[in-house]
Amino acid sequence: MSLCGTDQDKERLIKRLARIEGQIRGLAKMVEQNRDCIEVLRQIASASGALKGVWTQVLGDHLRGCIAQAAMENDQAVIDELIDHLQKIR
pLDDT tens-digit series, residues 6-52: 788 889 999 999 999 999 999 999 999 999 999 999 999 999 999 99
Q: pLDDT tens digit string along 5-15? A: 778 888 999 99
Q: Does domain 7-88 have CATH number 2.60.120.620?
A: no
**DSSP letter for each residue of 5-68:** S-HHHHHHHHHHHHHHHHHHHHHHHHHHTT--HHHHHHHHHHHHHHHHHHHHHHHHHHIIIIIH
pLDDT at 1: 57
What CA–CA distance (Å, rounded) separates 39 from 23? 13
- What ranges do the domains of the chain cover? 7-88
Instruction: Give the residue-averaged pLDDT of 56-60.
Output: 93
User: What is the CA 28 to chain-centroid distance, rounded?
Assistant: 20
